[in-house]
Structure 1
Amino acid sequence: MSGPVPSLATRGDAVLTNLRLVDGIRPTPQDGLAIVIEAGRIARIEPDTAHTADAASGVHDLGGAVVMPGLINMHTHFSLSLPGPGGDAVSALDPHELALYMADGARRTLLSGVTTVRCVSEKGGADFALRRAIEAGHVAGPRIFTAGRGLCCTGGHGHDTDDTLECDGADAVTRGVRSQIAAGADLVKLMISGGIAGENEQITTPQLTRDEMSAAISTAHAWGRKVTAHAGPAAIIAEAVELGLDCVEHGYELTPEVAALMAAHGTALVPTLVVTRAKAFFDDLGVPEWMQQRSLEAGPRHLDSYRYALDAGVDVLLGSDMPPFWDFEGTSAVVRELEHMQAGGLPAPDVVRAATSAPARWLGADDLGILAPGAWADLVAMPDDPTADISALRGIDLVMRGGVIVRDDAGRTR
């Protein structure tokens, strides 16, 4: 190679032919179409009759593969550090090492088929730097929407690492919200109850007062930011929903009544079912027995809560909490989460929407999560149809972000 070495391409041109299109909106694939991509966005979707496959000219025959929007993971932590040796190693990284560690996680996340993430508490502001680096083409990764640091009470959930900011009282919480928005946060994350990973708390421990939640939510909304909350017990969730909470993370102990309240208020749920079914992951990290026991024992109630949400018509959204790319039970953690969502009662076409267009709608990003003219050409391909069985995503063999192919296992685009 002669001449200057460019940064990674962030936008590309291509024509994809001989495919079955799952657009993130319709419940079944469409046949006989081609996708024309210009400068990273879908310019046209047209009959697949006018194009001849030619890699040199950017026209690629996908051999009948199913193409769908790239996955949008709404609960991601690139700097996750759970109790135990694995988490301790992450917490011991200096700021430079942490940035590189997170960049590697972002690259692996993209290659797993996740083209957009919502980060919901990251350490030391490194998420903002990572977002800029990805947008500039310095490192490979998904599109990032981030909450910056989560807000918790003194000693609250996540207080022992710097991915949270301890705030007590309405004034302090207001300042906390504003501080994350000033740093560049796209949304705000609150820790309103205990959880699985806190040794000195229970899932049911309420951790923010009504005044604190009200201050956080009203301040964030005034600045045009939505609010999501780590939350387990029904009572604290109900109180936050009545105050205007936009999304619940986990929702371990919902009731039918609280699920109905969420549906009535348009409050979404990111269930993260995999986190109460993650023994192999915990073993990989050396997570202590007290946390493993709390997680696994919460599993049946967690699944009941998810089903209450489905029955009530709550908008459920994909979120793995575990690193999306993690090699877990024969697939990636993000695909395993989607399989749990289907097994728990959500039909496969709706699981596809929960992983694509529904998260994009929550994010206010109408050019993501769908394959339609004007949308970003963020997509994945696989041999089988995920609207028939979401386990088809175990076969992802092509990933494109912004019209740039970043993974091509099947060699269809060379």
Structure 2
Amino acid sequence: MNPAQPTDQSQVVLTNCTVLDGRVVDGVDPVPDAAVWVRGDRIAAVGPRTEVLAEAERDGAVPRIDLGGAYLTPGLTNMHTHLSLSLPGSGGDTVKGMSPHELAFYMADGARRTLHCGVTTVRCVAEKDHADFALRRAITAGRVVGPRIFTAGQALVCTGGHGHESSDTMECDGADGFRRGVRTQVRAGADLIKVMISGGIAGEHEAIHTRQLFSDELAAVIRTAHAWGRKVTAHAGPAVVIGEAVELGLDCVEHGYQLTEDVTARMARRGTALVPTLLVTRCKEFFDELGVPEWMQCRSLGAGPRHLESYAMALAAGVEVLLGSDMPPFWQFEGTNASVRELEYMSAGGLGPARALYAGTLGPIRWLGAEADLGTVEAGKYADLVAMDGDPLADTAAFRGVRWVMKGGQVVRDDRAGWSAQ
């Protein structure tokens, strides 16, 4: 068996582990000396080891996997993913220059690496040429190894707006144009809608605070998406634009570089979540690796202190914050992968380990409306699980030590069997 590939097991009991998940914030305690019975692609039972083993054995002989005293949690969910990311610079130019066939293989490789690092679900928020839909179908069919994908398709942007240079956006203008944009993404299979309502750090001829949609355009996006049962998330920096969008019914804010106490209070009151992407304003090493130009690096790194202030305001107001790296989820950065590093920054920035566990697992799944199937270690849920030696309730850095990954009842990573990230 090649441990880098899924292993097909109809059922198995996971033993010698402590089970915990995001419900700790609701008072659900970890289960020490636990076992998890996985049957097919879902969890059949979870609880104290002796009870689960007895239940499984009544069903016949069931193979076991000894997790060696690990802490077992749901896989992470990364809510700000671009598997076809192409920032300004030489690295991004390489991706932009790929043929459709090359791009498909590139994204499939990224999906594999994402799953192997313990991210079992992603929310894509702008991918090139609708390749994300083909990738999702390939993963579902078992032709490609990768996480579960929820996607916005192409992000909607005004003519010349943030990200217009790439095929991961669709240019629209006017209320009718943006309504058409929403419907185009829904027709392609989008689970949600992403819209760029302000400038950002990657647009040379804009500023973070540049308004890019007018009220009628923004209202058209939100009303149309909601009519189709899709939530809307917005790339957004400045408080004024975000506040207006929140009042119109925006479901989620990406980045939120320049929030204020008034706007965060409104976000909390209206239930608008924040995916802060703290990495994007403190990742010079990543920018240097991709050859990102000096103007973008200065804008990004210069926004860092205010970005952290905004994040602290959101936490103080009680805004729901969710894990999202913006950087490719699997990217090696500061001694770990981007998903874990982002979660560490969120935890250290005031969230704390317990809420960080929630923000990386159950919180995103609830936003996605998928909690019937994902997000906790409970009977009936998909067996999307990760194991690590450290306790993530003591230190979020425990996720650096993920050494075993299961998705849908299939083991896709087992370091004891010689798994390699390459």
Tell me the TM-score normalised to structure 2 length: 0.94
Residue 30 of structure 1 and its aligned partner are, at CA, apart by 1.8
- Is 1:114 matched with 2:112? no
- Is 1:400 matched with 2:409? no
Gaps of 5+ in 2: none
Residues 62, 412 of structure 1: 8 Å contact kept? no
Over 3 Å counting, the alpha-carbon distance change for 1:338 and 1:183 in structure 2 is: same
Distance in structure 2 (CA, Å) of the matches to 1:162 and 1:89: 14
Letter in 2 for 1:14: V
Distance in structure 2 (CA, Å) of the matches to 1:405 and 1:368: 17
Residues 386, 404 of structure 2: 8 Å contact kept? yes
Output aligned runs, 1:15-164, within 5 Å: 15-27=13-25, 28-49=29-50, 51=53, 57-164=62-169
2:320 to 279, 295, 315: 315
Residue 347 of structure 1 and its aligned partner are, at CA, apart by 1.3
Please report the RMSD computed on the Cα atoms of aligned residues, expressed in angstroms: 1.9
Greater fraction of residues in helix? 2
Report Cα offsets for 1:348-387 as digits up to 9, x if no partner: 0000000000000000001211111111110110001011
Output aligned runs, 1:301-312, within 5 Å: 301-312=306-317
User: Secondary structure of the equivalent of 2:303?
Assistant: helix
1:241 to 238, 246, 249: 246
- Is 1:227 matched with 2:225? no
2:385 to 379, 385, 398: 379
Residues 12, 402 of structure 1: 8 Å contact kept? no
Report Cα offsets for 1:66-121 as digits up to 9, x if no partner: 00000000000000000000000000001111011000000000001000000000
Partner of 2:397: 391
Residue 144 of structure 1 and its aligned partner are, at CA, apart by 0.1
Distance in structure 1 (CA, Å) of the matches to 2:287 and 2:232: 29
Residue 343 of structure 1 and its aligned partner are, at CA, apart by 1.0
User: Secondary structure of the equivalent of 1:227?
Assistant: strand
Distance in structure 1 (CA, Å) of the matches to 2:225 and 2:370: 18
Distance in structure 2 (CA, Å) of the matches to 1:67 and 1:46: 12
Provide runs of 4+ in structure 1 moved above 6 Å. Answer: none
User: Secondary structure of the equivalent of 1:108?
Assistant: helix
* Percent identity for Structure 1 against Structure 2: 65
Distance in structure 2 (CA, Å) of the matches to 1:311 and 1:327: 31
Distance in structure 2 (CA, Å) of the matches to 1:58 and 1:196: 51
Distance in structure 2 (CA, Å) of the matches to 1:36 and 1:18: 12
User: Secondary structure of the equivalent of 1:406?
Assistant: strand
Distance in structure 2 (CA, Å) of the matches to 1:11 and 1:282: 42
Residues 22, 355 of structure 2: 8 Å contact kept? no
Over 3 Å counting, the alpha-carbon distance change for 1:92 and 1:69 in structure 2 is: same
User: Secondary structure of the equivalent of 1:14?
Assistant: strand
Gaps of 5+ in 1: 2-6
Letter in 1 for 2:382: W
Residues 10, 40 of structure 1: 8 Å contact kept? no
Partner of 1:4: none
How many residues are aligned here? Answer: 407
Tell me the TM-score normalised to structure 1 length: 0.95
